[in-house]
């Protein structure tokens, strides 16, 4: 029997064509649980879909992920519509997802989470204008969490290491299960009514969405919102988000981080204060040195060595200016005097008395100067003004 030899690429291509030519693989609905989920920076999603006995690699391209109404996570049970094909390079077959839907209780919880989140956000419970500042140096740190487990130990260790004088007041509350949300809300109210803390930490360790659900309930969200004490929410791991995180005055990725945010590191603060003190001291020394240099410069100045010399110099300047002004005034008076004499001569030359002195007279009739013979008639009495006096005459 003769066998035809083919390459690996040809074999993978042949198998891929078999999948693509089978209509069954073109559109299949597959149920399973997500694991090894990775959301690539390109927007594509890579994960494995598994059940109790088997698994299949899956990929969902960016063009389809934009239509999802939830964020896929490991452990979710989903139904996927997609096609099965072969990835020729690796010789593996995989499911190419086109649509995805959550199944079971986890999907219901996720939908309830989004619904409550939208409702509270619309009411303004997430607004930054309602956020209270965390005090810089609180004396009493209130903690609402389970009294067992690593959470409270981590908070105590971090807090006392940063400030040995801080007081931790633990109010034990259940952090999961039925009735936990009610107890947490009552704990917040109790701490406020009795003024037991300067800042309050609500904390628990990581867990599934179901485990963290008490912190997604409306009663806890409203208790946080109405708290007069600033609240730091530290629920779950760094990637977990709850409704409490959005309502709280500050969100911490972990309980240990919450303790760091609530308690100032005393040693670091002392170091900063010492640094400020050193800078102020150096600044003061530079200021004193500058003032000393200015003082020495002033002492060498003539203002200090010959204090009256400057005054005497100013007196001389004033005397010179006064003499200059007196000379200017005399010159001005002389000019005005000469000018006045010229005007007087001109006025005298134009005087009527000068004209009369040359033998002229001024004839007037009834108090008016006669300028023409036409103004005179026979028997008119006239007045004749001459240099040395006035006489009367009659026209004949």
Give 10-residue mean pLDDT values along the chain (396 residues): 79 85 86 90 92 91 88 87 89 91 72 86 91 92 89 91 92 90 94 94 84 90 95 83 92 91 86 86 88 78 66 83 88 88 79 70 83 83 82 85
Same domain, 94 and 139: no
Task: Give the total number of structural domains in the chain.
Answer: 4
Same domain, 236 and 326: no
CA distance 83 to 31: 13
Helix spans in 300-374 (H) = 302-305, 307-349, 352-357
Q: Which pLDDT does position 306 carry in this prediction?
A: 66
Same domain, 334 and 381: no
Within a domain: residue 335?
Answer: yes
Q: Are 265 and 285 in contact (CB under 8 A)?
A: no
Within a domain: residue 385?
Answer: yes
Q: Which pLDDT does position 198 carry in this prediction?
A: 95
Within a domain: residue 372?
Answer: yes
Same domain, 139 and 260: yes
pTM for the structure as a whole: 0.51
| Domain interval for residue 89 | 8-102
What's the token pair of residue 218? 């409306």
User: How far apart, in Å, are the Cα atoms of 354 and each of 3, 69, 348?
Assistant: 160, 124, 7
Same domain, 230 and 342: no
CATH number at residue 64: 2.40.50.140
Q: Which pLDDT does position 166 carry in this prediction?
A: 92
For 19-58, letters b (16+ CB in 10 Å) and e give eeeeeebeeeebebbbeebeeeeeeebebbbeeeeeebeb
Within a domain: residue 43?
Answer: yes
Same domain, 95 and 211: no
């Amino acid at each position: 029997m003769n066998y035809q030899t083919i390459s690996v690429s040809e074999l993978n291509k042949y198998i891929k064509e078999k999948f693509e030519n089978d209509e069954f693989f073109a559109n299949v609905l597959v149920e399973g649980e997500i694991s090894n989920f990775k959301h690539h920076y390109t927007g594509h999603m890579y994960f494995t879909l598994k059940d109790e006995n088997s698994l299949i690699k899956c990929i969902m391209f960016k063009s389809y992920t934009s239509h999802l109404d939830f964020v896929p996570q490991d452990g979710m049970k989903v139904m996927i519509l997609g096609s099965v094909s072969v990835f020729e390079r690796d010789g593996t077959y995989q499911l190419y997802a086109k649509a995805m839907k959550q199944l079971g209780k986890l999907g219901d919880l996720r939908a309830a989470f989004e619904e409550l989140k939208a409702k509270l956000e619309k009411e303004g419970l997430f607004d930054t204008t309602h956020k209270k500042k965390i005090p810089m140096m609180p004396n009493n740190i209130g903690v609402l969490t389970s009294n067992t487990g690593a959470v409270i130990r981590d908070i105590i260790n971090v807090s006392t290491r940063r400030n040995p004088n801080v007081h931790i007041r633990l109010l034990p509350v259940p952090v999961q299960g039925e009735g936990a949300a009610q107890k947490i809300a009552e704990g917040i109210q109790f701490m406020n009514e009795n003024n037991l803390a300067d800042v309050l930490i609500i904390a628990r360790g990581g867990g599934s969405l179901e485990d963290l659900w008490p912190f997604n309930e409306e009663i806890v969200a409203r208790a946080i919102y109405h708290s007069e004490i600033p609240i730091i929410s530290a629920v779950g791991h760094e990637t977990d988000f709850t409704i409490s995180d959005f309502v709280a005055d500050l969100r911490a990725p972990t309980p240990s981080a919450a303790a760091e945010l609530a308690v100032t590191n005393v040693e670091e603060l002392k170091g900063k204060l010492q640094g400020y003190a050193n800078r102020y001291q150096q600044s003061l020394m530079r200021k004193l040195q500058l003032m000393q240099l200015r003082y020495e410069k002033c002492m060498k100045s003539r203002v200090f060595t010959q204090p009256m010399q400057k005054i005497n110099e100013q007196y001389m300047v004033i005397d010179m200016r006064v003499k200059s002004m007196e000379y200017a005034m005399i010159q001005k008076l002389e000019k005005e005097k000469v000018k006045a004499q010229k005007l007087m001569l001109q006025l005298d030359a134009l005087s009527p008395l000068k004209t009369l002195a040359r033998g002229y007279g001024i004839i007037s009739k009834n108090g008016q100067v006669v300028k023409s013979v036409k103004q005179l008639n026979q028997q008119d009495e006239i007045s004749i003004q001459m240099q040395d006096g006035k006489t009367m005459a009659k026209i004949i």
